[in-house]
């Protein structure tokens, strides 16, 4: 197979890879914040339940969660599996990543000194205002490096979608590799992932610089 | 600052909508004629694989396509994950599994509709030239590789467990390519593999030898869901027509590695 055909064929899958990536980020970043807030809830029951869910999501392989989300509804309720695999794949990824992001947010929120809440109260800020106007902007700045870490991992984790035969770039690469008994597609896949992560790295670096307005 | 946030947000929203469109585009195909979705392992040459032009091809794919043309059905290919093929068939992701699939008693017991067998297969041992291995008895104490989820793996755990017991170590790889690479690099001494796969590999690569002792004779067939007997009958009838008018033999001639073991051509 000529190299150009190989790259084009795998490039077709790249659209699906990017869809997983973008949609997962879009859903998991806000969901993570919600989970972090539930996890820090004063109610022991709510924080206990959230903690349990986070421990399951972080303690089992994403590959298993993908299979569970895709085929679970069929085996449990007899629902047909959607032929558009993007939906179950994104659900599984978003939930899994929300659990990780939640812990990152929590670390960030708990690192803000208690005194700031007291100062805000004295100045007449409501709880809502305190959180979104004072705490969250500082949290975002502090957690940027950890978030970038997770995002870079996410780019590479998209390859796990092959377990439910979602035709993303790596799935196609694997098929070509075995069809043509050649290791070349793996090299091409490596280059694709590296380029995507270089873009992510560059973008996140820019964002971090923008946020450094006090230095 | 607010403006910047707004611009960023809008850029993000645009990227998202683009992502959504590319994601959903596929589901909007009109469905007038019956669409037959063939489930294949796209990593199984010469039965089903990705050809030089980047499209799905292979003996099974070509036959199925020709059969669908006879029936006036739309033809689609779905690449299954071989370890989960029957789950994916059950879950309606494809209408059959047709990809050099070994007929197992367990499939019939589980209620799947299985077509007439169309291919005789045996398991062979692939070794390097000059390895000193001439028969299965020589494998005692050696390291042997087999692909996960293949009938070879099942045989070594069941009918051929005695043979497997003599191996020094049994390595399970997740693809043939990895098995062969392990063999080539000297990490394993032999690969336990389906005859046609070994044949096509030896045809393209030098320095390998096949040991065929007729181990684990088995047959290939097509699997359908339990309530799809009618669909199975239609496909079988269409394939019979292809055999009748010579198309079947024509396609088979393109795949010399497997031609001799095709049951429909032996009658």
Q: Say what the ipTM of the complex is.
A: 0.75
Give the span between the Cα atoms of B139 and B146, in whole angstroms: 14
Say yes or no: B183 and B130 in one domain: yes
Rounded mean pLDDT of A31-38?
Answer: 95
Q: What percent of chain A has pLDDT over 90?
A: 75
| Residue A184 C-alpha, separation from nearest chain B C-alpha, in angstroms | 12
Cβ contacts (< 8 Å) between A171 and chain B: which residues?
A: 79
Is B241 domain-assigned? Answer: yes
In whole angstroms, give the CA distance from residue A9 to residue B84: 24
The answer, yes or no, to whether the previous bond of B46 is cis (omega within 30 of 0) is yes
CB contact under 8 A, A178 and B45: yes
B42 touches A at CB < 8 Å: yes
One domain, residues B93 and B130: no
Residues A111 and A121: their CA atoms lie apart, in Å, by 18
Residues of A in contact with B177 (CB under 8 A): 177-178, 181-183
Residue among B220, B230, B49 nearest B120 (CA)? B220
CB-based contact A83 B93, cutoff 8 Å: yes
The answer to whether B1 contacts chain A (CB < 8 Å) is no
How near does any CA of chain B get to the CA of A64, in Å? 13
- Flag whether B225 is in a domain: yes
For residue B147, the cross-strand partners are B173
Q: At what angle do helices B59-71 and B229-244 cross, to 10 degrees?
A: 100
CA B91 to chain centroid, in Å, comes to 19
What pLDDT does B24 receive?
41
Residue A165 is nearest to which of B22, B79, B181, comparing CB atoms? B79
Residues of chain B neighbouring A203 (CB-CB closer than 8 A): none
How far apart, in whole angstroms, are the C-alpha atoms of residue B183 and residue B176? 11
Structural domain containing residue A165: 3-211
Residues spanned by the domain of B103: 34-119+219-265
In this structure, chain A runs to a length of: 215
User: What CATH number corresponds to the domain at position A12?
Assistant: 1.10.3720.10
Q: What pLDDT score does B27 carry?
A: 40
Average pLDDT of every residue of chain A: 92
Which chain B residue shows the shortest CA-CA distance from A207? B8
- Whether residues B146 and B114 share a domain: the answer is no
Taking contacts as CB-CB distances below 8 angstroms, the residues of chain A near B93 are: 81, 83, 165
| Residues ≥6 apart with Cβ < 8 Å to A12 | A172
Q: Is the dihedral of CA A43, A49, A54, A55 positive or negative?
A: positive
Interface of B with A in 13-32 (CB under 8 A): 15-16, 19-20, 22-24, 26-27
Whether pLDDT at A173 is above 60: yes
Interface probe with A: pick from B42, B44, B78, most Cβ of A within 10 Å? B42
Per-block mean pLDDT, blocks of 10 residues, chain B (267 long)? 54 50 42 84 91 92 95 93 89 92 90 94 91 90 89 86 90 87 90 88 90 88 94 95 94 89 84
C-alpha dist (Å) from residue B61 to B45, B66, B239? 11, 9, 12
Between the alpha carbon of residue A32 and those of residues A40, A48, A98, A141, B215, the distances in Å are 12, 16, 4, 16, 55
Nearest to A164 among B52, B81, B90 (CB): B81
For residue B97, give the nearest of B47, B51, B147 by alpha carbon.
B47
Predicted pLDDT of residue B11: 55
E-assigned strands of chain B? 35-40, 43-44, 48-50, 56-57, 74-79, 96-102, 113-114, 119-128, 143-147, 169-173, 190-194, 208-224
B146 lies in the same domain as B185: yes
- Is residue B96 situated within a structural domain? yes
Does B211 map to a domain?
Answer: yes
- Higher-confidence position of B257 and A184: A184
Asked whether residue B206 falls in the same domain as residue B256, the answer is: no
Q: Which of A17, A7, A26 is nearest to A193 (CA)?
A: A17
User: B144-159: per-residue pLDDT in tens?
Assistant: 999 887 888 888 888 8
**Residue B236 falls within a domain, yes or no?**
yes
Residues B252 and B193 in one domain: no
Cα distance from A88 to chain B (closest Cα, Å)? Answer: 12
> CA nearest B187: which of B163, B171, B205?
B171
CA A80 and chain centroid, separation: 26
Q: Based on the structure, what is the number of domains in chain B?
A: 2
- Decide which of B201, B218, B235 is a domain's last residue: B218
Contact: B54, A6; criterion CB under 8 Å = yes
Is residue B240 a part of any domain in this protein? yes
Report DSSP state, residue B51.
Answer: -
**φ and ψ of B92, to 5 deg:** 70, 20
With beta carbons less than 8 A apart as the criterion, state whether B167 and B142 touch: yes
Domain count, chain A: 1
Half-sphere exposure of A189 (CA within 13 A, CB side): 22
- Section A85-109 average pLDDT: 95
Residue B186 sits in the same domain as residue B100: no
- In sequence order, what are the beta bridge partners of B114? B223
Distance of CA A95 to the CA centre of its chain: 8
Q: What is the pLDDT of residue B23?
A: 42
The Cβ of residue A3 has, within 10 Å, a number of other Cβ atoms equal to 9
- Give the whole-angstrom CA distance, residue A89 versus residue A96: 11
Strand partners, B173: B147
Residue A146 confidence (pLDDT): 94
Chain B residues in contact with A5 by the CB 8 A cut-off are: 52-54
Contact B93 A163 (CB under 8 A): no
CATH number at residue B104: 3.40.190.10
In a domain, B243, yes or no: yes
Among chain B residues, CA nearest to A164: B81
């Amino acid at each position: 197979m000529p190299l150009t055909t190989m790259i084009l064929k795998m490039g077709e899958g790249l659209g699906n890879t990017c869809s997983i990536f973008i949609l997962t980020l879009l859903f998991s970043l806000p969901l993570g914040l919600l989970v972090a807030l539930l996890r820090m809830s004063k109610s022991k029951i709510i924080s206990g339940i959230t903690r349990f869910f986070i421990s399951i999501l972080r303690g089992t392989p994403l590959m298993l969660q993908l299979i569970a989300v895709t085929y679970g509804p069929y085996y449990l309720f007899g629902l047909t599996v959607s032929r558009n695999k993007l939906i179950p794949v994104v659900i599984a990824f978003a939930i899994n990543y929300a659990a990780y992001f939640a812990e990152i947010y929590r670390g960030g929120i708990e690192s803000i000194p208690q005194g700031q809440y007291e100062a805000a109260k004295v100045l007449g800020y409501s709880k809502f205002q305190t959180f979104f106007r004072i705490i969250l902007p500082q949290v975002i700045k502090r957690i940027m490096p950890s978030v970038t870490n997770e995002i870079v991992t996410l780019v590479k984790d998209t390859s796990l979608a092959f377990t439910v035969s979602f035709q993303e770039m790596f799935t196609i690469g694997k098929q070509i590799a075995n069809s043509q008994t050649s290791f070349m597609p793996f090299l091409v896949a490596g280059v694709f992932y590296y380029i995507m992560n270089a873009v992510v790295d560059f973008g996140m670096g820019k964002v971090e610089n923008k946020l450094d307005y006090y230095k | 600052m607010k403006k910047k946030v707004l611009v960023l947000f809008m850029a993000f929203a645009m990227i998202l909508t683009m992502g959504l469109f590319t994601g959903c585009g596929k589901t909007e195909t009109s469905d007038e004629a019956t669409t037959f979705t063939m489930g294949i392992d796209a990593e199984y040459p010469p039965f089903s694989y990705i050809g030089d032009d980047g499209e799905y091809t292979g003996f099974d794919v070509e036959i199925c396509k020709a059969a669908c043309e006879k029936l006036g059905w739309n033809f689609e290919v779905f690449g299954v994950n071989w370890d989960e093929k029957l789950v994916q068939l059950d879950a309606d992701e494809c209408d059959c599994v047709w990809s050099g699939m070994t007929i197992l008693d367990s499939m019939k017991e589980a209620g799947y509709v299985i077509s007439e067998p169309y291919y005789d297969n045996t398991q062979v041992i692939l070794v390097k030239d000059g390895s000193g291995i001439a028969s299965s008895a020589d494998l005692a104490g050696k390291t042997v590789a087999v692909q996960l989820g293949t009938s070879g793996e099942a045989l070594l755990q069941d009918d051929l467990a005695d043979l497997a017991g003599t191996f020094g170590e049994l390595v399970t790889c997740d693809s043939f390519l990895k098995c062969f690479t392990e063999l080539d690099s000297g990490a394993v001494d032999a690969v336990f593999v389906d005859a046609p796969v070994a044949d096509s590999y030896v045809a393209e690569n030098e320095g390998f030898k096949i040991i065929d002792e007729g181990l684990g004779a088995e047959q290939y067939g097509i699997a359908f869901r339990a309530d799809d007997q009618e669909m199975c009958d239609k496909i079988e009838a269409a394939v019979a027509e292809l055999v009748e008018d010579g198309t079947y033999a024509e396609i088979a001639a393109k795949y010399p590695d497997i031609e001799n073991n095709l049951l429909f051509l032996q009658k």
